[in-house]
Amino acid sequence: MKYLAKDDSKCIQCGLCEEICSTTYFKTNDVEKSCIHISKDGKPDINVCNQCGECINICPVQAIKRDKLGVVRINKKDCVGCFMCVGFCPENAMRQHDEFIEPFKCIACGLCAKKCPSGAIFIAEKEAKELAYAD
């Protein structure tokens, strides 16, 4: 499946990825509305969804599913805004902002990877460890 892969050691903490993400999807340059988060101090740490799919089983209304590329997507219409996926994400990469009643997440669109000057993030393919229940 498709996902945004990362190499923390290459990250220069420039923040361009955060900017392009929030600007594209929420029309504003606001790191709180970015699906990818980069640590600002200390060692570079890239926090972003790795499409593991743990959230799929957590969602009470099955609003989270893999699309045909294997990317984990939220159906915002069905989502009831409980944020259990946010609380249970093993990577703490499911995002939530109080202006929105549904959570949001990286969908491996690759825009940030294109902007990244150091190649720290890039779209890649991997085997799904376990596929979501095909309900």
Partner 1 sequence: MLTNRRGDEKMDINVLKEGRKLLTEYKYELGKVDKGYTNRTLYVNISENKIDSKPVTPIMKEKFVGGKGFGLWYLWNGTTPSTKWNDPKNEIVISGGPVCGITQYPGSGKSLVCSISPMTDIPIDSNVGGYFGPLLKFAGWDALEVQGKAEKDIVVFIDGNKGIVRIEEAPLEAIDSHVLAEQLTEMYADNEEDKRNVSVVTAGTGAEHAKMGLLNFSLYDPRRKVTRFKQAGRGGIGTVFRDKKIKALVVKFSGVKGNLNNPVDQGIINKAGIKMHKEVHDLDDNQNRMRKVGTGYSVEVMSAYDLLPVMNYQYGGHEDAKKIGPEVLINNYLTQGKEDGCWYGCSMACAKTADNFELKTGPYKGQHVTVDGPEYETIAGVGSNCGIFDPRAILEINFYCDTYGIDTISFGTSTAFVMECYTRGIINKEITGGLELNFGNFNASVELLHQMSRGEGFGVIVGQGIHRMKKLFAEEYGADSDFLFDIGMEQKGLEYSEYGSKESLAQQGGFGLTNKGPQHDEAWLIFMDMVNNQIPTFEDKAEALYYFPMFRTWFGLYGLCKLPWNDIAPANNKFTSEPAKIPEHVQNYLDVVYGVTGKRLNTQELVTESERVYNFQRIFNIRLGKGLRSNDKIPYRSMGPVTKEEYESRQERYDGQLKEFLNYEVEGKTTEEKMSVVRKYREEQYEKLTDAVYKRRGWNSNGVPTIEHLKELGMDLPMLIEVVKDLQ
Question: Cα separations (Å) of 11 from 14, 93, 100, 107?
Answer: 8, 17, 29, 20
Applying CB under 8 A, does 60 fall inside the site for partner 1? yes
44 or 53, CB closer to partner 1?
53
Task: Enumerate residues 78-107 that contact partner 1 by CB under 8 A.
Answer: 78-84, 86-88, 96, 98, 101-102
Q: Judge whether 94 and 86 are in contact, CB under 8 Å.
A: yes
Number of residues binding to partner 1, judged by CB under 8 A: 22
Minimum distance of partner 1 from residue 98's CB (angstroms): 4
Q: Structure tokens of 66?
A: 């893999």
Q: Judge whether 11 and 117 are in contact, CB under 8 Å.
A: no
34 or 108, CB closer to partner 1?
34
Minimum distance of partner 1 from residue 86's CB (angstroms): 5
Residue ranges that bind partner 1, judged by CB under 8 A:
57-62, 78-84, 86-88, 96, 98, 101-102, 133, 135
